[in-house]
Amino acid sequence: MEATEDDDETQGRDYVTALARGLAVMRAFSDQAQRLTLSEVARIVALPRASVRRALFTLEKLGYVEVEGRFFSLAPQVLRLAQAYLSSSPVPRVAQNFLELVSERLGQSCSLSILHEDEVIYIARSTRKRLGSLHRDVGTHLPAHCTSMGRVLLAALPPTERDQFLAKTTLTAFTRYMITDKDELRQAVEKAGKLGHCLVDQELEIDLRSLAIPIRNASGRVIAAMNVSARASTTSKKEMLDSFLPVLREAAANMRPLLIG
């Protein structure tokens, strides 16, 4: 949700509108060109130019934004914000060695993500070299409804939260294989919950298959999802289920006792 002029009224007296606008301005650079003009940022965040100008000026002074002529871009210091999360959360640290082992055994990329609103966010990944669109950096966010990790994580939600997600989400078709009917999506999510895994076949990208399982902590709560991605042209669904799934489950089982809390 982007910041708006009446945020302070709708969110309560403790809500800091200026902070919300500053964060919205930073998020404007997601999935955009590397550099944006003031007008482009204002259009993306739906805020007046004056508000955006003040936010960009402040972010520049703090070292989070760089300016070149009329263009603005995020500065490397932004990475410190991500690093603060990664260093404070035990999940990425615990998972990293397991992701590397899975990747080494299967010869494929392996990633870990969490659910945030209607997206999955990558919080760890193997360092194995990947080609083209298979490369997902830490911090990448993707739609939850058409990704294997997203459906696994949606399956772990309480029914009321899952219903809320289905009610508000827009099923944009990325490929001809993608599920665009909400009843069909609900069935796919429920199936993922019953099976304890989810295989998504070319719904997000053509020639991309992804298999995911839930990651539980020591108390049994689902806290993340782990997946393996492969080319559909070289790896069959049967191979992924017969060969990849046991490796994923073994890694999840070994990881679970280490995820305390």
| Segment 151-165, tens digit of pLDDT | 999 999 999 999 999
Half-sphere exposure of 58 (CA within 13 A, CB side): 13
Question: In the β-sheet with 198-201, what is the strand arrangement from edge to edge?
Answer: 141-143, 119-125, 109-116, 222-231, 208-216, 198-201
Residue 164 pLDDT: 93
Residue 86 pLDDT: 65
Nearest-5° Cα angle at 101, 95 to 153: 45
Between the alpha carbon of residue 190 and those of residues 43, 156, 183, 224, the distances in Å are 38, 9, 11, 17
pTM here is 0.75
Residue 78 pLDDT: 80
Q: How many CB atoms lie within 10 A of CB 17?
A: 16
DSSP letter assigned to residue 218: T
Q: What residues contact 142, with CB distance under 8 A and at least 6 apart? A: 119, 120, 136, 150, 204
Residue 87 pLDDT: 65
Q: Which residue has the tokens 């899952």?
A: 162
Residue 114 pLDDT: 94
Q: Which two tokens stand for residue 43?
A: 């259009």
Residue ranges and CATH numbers for the domains of the chain are: 7-80 (1.10.10.10), 89-258 (3.30.450.40)
Convert 236-248 into a string of H (helix), E (strand) and C (coil).
CHHHHHHHHHHHH
- Kindly list the averaged pLDDT for each block of 10 residues, start to end, along the chain of length 261: 50 78 84 80 91 91 90 84 70 92 93 92 80 63 94 96 92 92 96 97 94 96 95 95 97 94 64
The SS3 call for residue 21 is: helix
Residue 140 pLDDT: 84
| Segment 198-222, tens digit of pLDDT | 999 999 999 999 999 999 999 999 9
